Amino acid sequence: MEGKGLTPRPELKCVRGLPLIKYFAENWEQVEKFQARPDDLLISTYPKAGTTWISEIVDQILNDGDIEKSKRDAIFIRVPFLEFAVPGVLKGTEQLAAMPPPRVIKTHLPVEFLPQSFWDKNCKMIYVARNAKDVAVSFYHFYQMAKVHPDPGTWEEFLQKYMDGKVSYGSWYDHVKGWWEKKKDYRILYLFYEDMKENPKREIRKVMKFMEKDLGEEVLERIVRDTSFKIMKENSMANYDTIPTCVMDHSISPFMRKDTLRACTDTSAAKSERYHTIFGFLW
């Protein structure tokens, strides 16, 4: 991955009212016409809600808990990012076109923006939702280190944009609500990051059942261990440290920063009150 020809800190571009990273928006036609396969497994989250964690869990389940097989390549190669596009790098849609089945596909798209072929093929999907404030804090640090985003400004400035749905992928609330409502009609396993933290063994067992994989208790324990935050943070095939600094600068903030719940960043009283008015009833 080279990432040549990148414009530093480009402004977001909208697709049908949805703010997206500039390069992703410019490749939208290819994303929209993407053809899913019946045996595809889609992973969807709002950004910074445990996407890499659930991706690693799914890949290890597919490989029967063999960590060495899951270290065959970086997670963004094993689980391609559907809408990913930056100059000089293979697009997510191009990666997926060349990938043999079964494919595991990552997206951050709101439910109404998902290519129609996923619904037509009745693909299995896993969605992970995370507490809105923890997402905001993590997303702010990610904006700082991932240079395909605009400059986030101060925490206060970023939080205002986040609450207004003016960050990449738009409103957190609309995202989690849209996927929640869709699950009654399609094969969607809806998980919560907080549940995964509280009892990873129980939640991974749910994923195994959803994937129709019966791997036994010993393998389950191994997957729990090898997908822990400590192990993944040290695993170069899972922690994105092979991405060039022109795309992600780990010296600003590591991709895998913290796994604590209820992260706290100083916020004015007025903004904190508005935050809880918008999101507080959900968590």
Distance CA 28, CA 217 (A): 43
List active site positions. 108
Residue 249 · residue 145 · CB < 8 Å = yes
Residue 72 · residue 146 · CB < 8 Å = no
Residue 51 · residue 255 · CB < 8 Å = no
**Long-range contact pairs involving 275-280 (C-beta distance under 8 Å, separation at least 24):** 275/132, 275/133, 275/159, 275/163, 278/163, 278/173, 279/132, 279/133, 279/163, 279/172, 279/173
Q: For residue 52, what is the enclosing H or E element?
A: helix 51-62
Amino acid residing at 235: N
Amino acid residing at 259: D
